[in-house]
């Protein structure tokens, strides 16, 4: 959470030095309506890739092997995302990417300014199939807009 990443003990030290960019061209959130959850693909209207604010760390397991891990920093949803989900990843503006990666930038308020929600005008979303719910499913079908004709039973 962008609101607590600098102060929470689990992330405080990582936040200071081990910031990264997590690149994507979209992300999926599940929109809840009653008990029904619908997968929604969210992307930039421009369809350009973007960078999300991330943190990473390398852990040494008891067995001695190294485990590399990362997490995406989230923030409160902007006006576009609120009907879909209460939170969203921090999508960095291109001009802020270098600052986010700069380990010398330690001013918490300056870094916090980088973690604001992206402008709602830049995003678009569409429903996709629940096919996305299994990591076994691969290919373009996972992110294609939902085609209700394909889902009809005859």
- Return the closest-CA partner of residue 26 out of 42, 46, 45: 42
What pLDDT score does 7 carry? 61
Reported confidence tier of residue 108, pLDDT bands at 50, 70, 90: confident
Q: Is CATH 3.100.10.10 correct for 12-143?
A: no
Interacting residues of 151 by C-beta distance below 8 A, sequence separation 6+: 129
| Nearest-angstrom CA–CA distance, 134 and 130 | 8
Cα separation values, 35 from 38, 44, 67, Å: 10, 28, 36
Reported confidence tier of residue 31, pLDDT bands at 50, 70, 90: very high
What pLDDT score does 17 carry? 79
Higher pLDDT, 148 or 61: 61
Average pLDDT over residues 85-113: 91
Phi and psi torsions of 95, nearest 5°: -70, -10
Please provide the distance, in angstroms rounded to a whole number, between the alpha carbons at the two ends of the chain. Answer: 46
Tokens of residue 131, six digits: 């096919």
Of all residues in the chain, the percent with pLDDT exceeding 90 is 66
Give the distance from CA 91 to its chain's centroid: 7
Higher pLDDT, 113 or 119: 119
- Domain spans of the chain? 12-143
């Amino acid at each position: 959470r962008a609101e607590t990443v600098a102060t929470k003990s689990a992330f405080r030290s990582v936040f200071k030095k081990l910031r990264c960019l997590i690149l994507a061209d979209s992300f999926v959130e599940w929109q809840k309506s009653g008990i029904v959850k619908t997968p929604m693909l969210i992307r930039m209207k421009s369809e350009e890739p973007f960078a999300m604010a991330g943190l990473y760390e390398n852990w040494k397991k008891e067995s001695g092997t190294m485990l590399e891990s990362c997490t995406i920093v989230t923030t409160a949803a902007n006006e576009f995302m609120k009907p879909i989900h209460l939170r969203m990843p921090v999508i960095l503006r291109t001009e802020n990417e270098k600052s986010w990666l700069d380990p010398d930038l330690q001013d918490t308020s300056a870094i916090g300014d980088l973690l604001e929600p992206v402008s709602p005008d830049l995003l678009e979303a569409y429903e996709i199939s629940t096919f996305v719910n299994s990591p076994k499913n691969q290919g373009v079908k996972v992110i294609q807009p939902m085609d209700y004709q394909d889902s009809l039973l005859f």
